[in-house]
Amino acid sequence: EMMEFLKSVFRLDQDQCSHRIVREHLGLKHDNYYELETHIFFDDAFIRTSEDDNDPHVNEYVESLASIIDEAATKVHGTTVRVRPPKVYPTPYGGRLVWTLPGKTKMIAHLKDKKKIRAKKRWSQCMYMYFLLGFRYLVNDELSAHSKEIRGENTYILALDGDIDFQPEALHLLVDYMKKNKTLGAACGRIHPIGSGGMVWYQMFEYAVGHWMQKATEHVIGCVLCSPGCFSLFRGKALMDKSVMKKYTTRSTQAKHYVQYDQGEDRW
């Protein structure tokens, strides 16, 4: 699963690099120019031999990611590529690995320690929203109110699943759609399950019905019931509103909260 995701990231890195070279060395401005930063979140990323173990080790999923990075880069670039080992940083929530990809963009893996911070997907989403939008923009005293608004308007968060496979053109289409409508808070791409077997056939039917009926209805009424986390683009300014980011951090206190908030984190 991680291989397809990493290949997609390397394709974006390559695409962003080409746009940057054209802009910096040829002096040509392109409407599709963008800055890129990739963040990967691992829930419960550490293994402890006991409850008192203060020197935990990363789990097999983190090791798997680190071991296939060179292979993914080689497949995308068509030649042998060796990505420099990541820089390792201890953090209050666990740890952080930072790679510099061939196109000079950053890929950061956030390793969450469940003994230090809340686990599960929703709290990972809260982490990146408050870091990318809150820490960098909202509480940044060096930025004026106008600068914060402009940056929020032009900052987008692309939410992806770990097994997604896409081309840069798919991202360009979503960004272009967001540019056309400044009041649009989120847009999602259509997902096509690949492979064979009964489960894939079921997914093909489920996804097709969802796009033909559910998404078409939501588009007409203007109310999105679900923005799937597998390939959705969110406008930073829309998330920065207190009624969105702050409400998303609501703690679960009842049984229905666990179902709605923690298990249906992309539906509220």
Sheet holding 186-188, edge to edge: 156-160, 231-235, 186-188
Query: Is residue 16 domain-shared with residue 86, that is, in the same domain?
Result: yes
What is the CA angle 64-69-74, rounded to 5?
A: 140
Query: Is residue 108 domain-shared with residue 135, that is, in the same domain?
Result: no
Q: Which of 86, 117, 148 is the last residue of a domain?
A: 117
How confident is the model at residue 29, as a pLDDT? Answer: 81
Answer whether 14's CB lies under 8 Å from 102's CB.
yes
Query: Is residue 68 domain-shared with residue 137, that is, in the same domain?
Result: no
Query: Is residue 110 domain-shared with residue 152, that is, in the same domain?
Result: no
Structurally, the chain folds into a number of domains equal to 2
Answer whether 2's CB lies under 8 Å from 64's CB.
yes
Query: Is residue 177 domain-shared with residue 155, that is, in the same domain?
Result: yes
Does 167 fall in a domain? yes
How confident is the model at residue 264, as a pLDDT? Answer: 60
Residue with tokens 């033909």: 212
pTM: 0.88
Query: Is residue 131 domain-shared with residue 75, that is, in the same domain?
Result: no
Tokens of 94: 């666990």
Query: Is residue 112 domain-shared with residue 126, that is, in the same domain?
Result: no
Q: Alpha carbon of 217 to those of 56, 93, 182, 203, 209: distances in Å?
A: 49, 41, 21, 20, 11
Q: State how far the Cα of 147 lies from the Cα of 218, in Å rounded to an integer.
A: 33
How confident is the model at residue 216, as a pLDDT? Answer: 81
Tens place of pLDDT for every residue, the chain, 268 residues?
A: 799 999 999 999 999 999 999 998 888 888 889 999 999 999 899 999 888 888 899 999 999 999 999 999 999 999 999 999 999 999 999 999 999 999 999 999 999 999 999 888 888 988 999 999 999 998 899 999 999 999 999 999 999 988 889 999 999 999 999 999 888 888 888 788 888 888 888 888 888 887 778 878 887 887 777 777 788 999 999 998 877 888 888 888 888 877 777 776 555 5
How confident is the model at residue 64, as a pLDDT? Answer: 96
Domain range spanning residue 94? 1-117
